[in-house]
Amino acid sequence: MKRPSFSVSVTTASQLHDGIDRLLPLLRADASHAPAARALAAAAASLRPPSTFLSNRVLHLLSSHPATLPDALALLSSLPSPDVCSYNTLVAALARSPRGLASARALFDRMPLRDHFSWSAIVSAHARHGQPRAALAFYRRMLREPEGSGADNEFTASSALAAATAARCVRSGRELHCHVIRRGIDADAVVWSALADMYAKNGQSEEALCYFNMFLRSGLRPDRVMFVGALSACAHAGLVDKGLEIFHSIKDEWAAEALFEIEPENPATYVTLANIYASVGLFDEVENVRKIMESKGITKMPASSWIEVGKRVHVFLVGDKSHPRAEEIYALLKKMYVKMREEGYVADISFVLHDVEEEQEEQDIGYHSERLAVAFGIIATPGDAPIKVFKNLRICGDCHATIKFISWIVQREIIVRDSNRFHHFKNGICSCRDYW
């Protein structure tokens, strides 16, 4: 297939604008168009009288691909009177990559004037790239600065709420919620979505469902994150009937299995629904979900956990007996289970998605990969050393309860990093406050 080409032969502002329109999608798709973009930028620079609007369009073009981003920065430095739009374009472009975040921050700090787009870009970039506390710090700084009131809108607020969610900072999230109410920007779909996600991930299911329902009543179509968040909130809080009601109402109201249409290849959607069905013993429905997954070729990633001991990484799967010290590992777990039952522990077999006898269900859940890794850590590390385990999927509720018991019984600090967050177990308590 012949690649689209672009040649620069422009002499007027109108031709330059037309050239930018045609070149922008080409450059975004292929860095080989970078020379043409540079030539167009040179032609624009020679035009008299100079136009800030045209210069900003050229900045937008050059910042659309990493290959020409240095050219965009050079152009910004050469402009006699760059405006806020000029800076915003470069801040947003630099902030697209984690590696460019420091440069984006430095350029942001040099801006003589900032608007709501400037603040929203810098707040959302830090939240997106794993620096939620820095994002919250920028939001608070915005509120203190003179232009802050004008920049404080639903977009910057939703970015700050996302940062509070990522930081697992419940207090900051609550304060932000109060702030958006005082500002009168709480009746907005973007803010509702951010609030629903924040409350769902912090274990406040009623609040999460309240804003999820507001979003539905607005007539907008929630995305996959909102659907799965609402269902997960129901499942985790034991609101099984409500979770099934949400799922079936979604199917009825959207006239299709909208939950699957939104992101049909994502196994998290199917697994969440299967968890809800299994928790009330509807194993025929669980099997139907599995059949749908099989028919679409969708597979759930096998659970695995690992721990580093003696500069070697030890990996465990569910029911794994391949480890050289497997007998010791299983013996320790059996000993732990005896002590746990003496303290009132009863296995929560609702986390097992198979319709089998109760005794077998308890055996299945008793040897999940994270338990095996924790047990190995206990027997293979010094008694005063913390045990650090990593898991590729979310830790199940019964394993979470079990590891809390184990941390209390053996008086060891146990740290488990699952796909959602760090869990720091100590003296029978977890840092996540039993929600993750």
DSSP string covering 155-206, please?
Answer: HHHHHHHHHHHHTT-HHHHHHHHHHHHHHT--SSHHHHHHHHHHHHHTT-HH
pLDDT-wise least confident of 112-121, 166-175, 394-403: 166-175
For tokens 């009177």, name the residue. Answer: 81
The domain locations on the chain are 215-300, 304-430
Are the beta carbons of 389 and 305 closer than 8 angstroms? yes
For tokens 């659907």, name the residue. Answer: 227
Q: Which residues touch 419 (CB under 8 Å, ≥6 apart)?
A: 391, 392, 393, 394
| Report for 94-103, 167-176, 415-424: range of highest mean pLDDT | 94-103
**Is residue 352 very low, low, confident or very high in pLDDT (cuts 50, 70, 90)?**
very low
Summarised one tens digit per residue, pLDDT across range 383-411 is 889 999 998 888 887 888 899 999 999 99
The predicted pLDDT at position 357 comes to: 36
Give the CB-side neighbour count of residue 23, counting CA atoms within 13 A.
32
β partners of residue 313: 308
SS3 138: helix
The predicted pLDDT at position 234 comes to: 72
Tokens of 1: 């297939």
**Is residue 88 very low, low, confident or very high in pLDDT (cuts 50, 70, 90)?**
very high
The answer on pLDDT for 103 being more than 70 is yes
Beta strands per DSSP E along 264-375: 304-309, 312-317
The predicted pLDDT at position 363 comes to: 45
pLDDT-wise least confident of 116-130, 267-281, 323-337, 346-360: 346-360
Higher pLDDT, 359 or 434: 434
The predicted pLDDT at position 2 comes to: 47
Q: CA-CA distance, 130 to 187, in Å (whole number)?
A: 28
Q: CA-CA distance, 37 to 100, in Å (whole number)?
A: 21
For tokens 């409350």, name the residue. Answer: 199
Q: Which residues touch 87 (CB under 8 Å, ≥6 apart)?
A: 76, 107, 108, 110, 111, 114, 118
Are the beta carbons of 130 and 167 closer than 8 angstroms? no
Tokens of 424: 């720091």
Q: CA-CA distance, 345 to 200, in Å (whole number)?
A: 27
Summarised one tens digit per residue, pLDDT across range 260-301 is 554 555 566 666 667 666 655 667 777 777 787 777 776 666
Average of per-residue pLDDT values in the chain = 78
Q: How many CB atoms lie within 10 A of CB 396?
A: 20
Q: CA-CA distance, 37 to 32, in Å (whole number)?
A: 10
| Report for 36-45, 127-136, 300-309, 409-418: range of highest mean pLDDT | 409-418
Tokens of 118: 């400037």
For tokens 């394993």, name the residue. Answer: 399
Q: CA-CA distance, 196 to 54, in Å (whole number)?
A: 41
The answer on pLDDT for 177 being more than 60 is yes
Burial-class residue 291 by CB neighbours within 10 Å (0-12, 13-18, 19+). exposed
Are the beta carbons of 325 and 333 closer than 8 angstroms? no
Report the pLDDT averaged over residues 367-371.
Answer: 90
CA geometry: angle 19, 20, 25, nearest 5 deg: 110
Report the pLDDT averaged over residues 169-173.
Answer: 77
- Parallel/antiparallel/unpaired status of strands 387-391 and 429-430: unpaired
The answer on pLDDT for 124 being more than 80 is yes
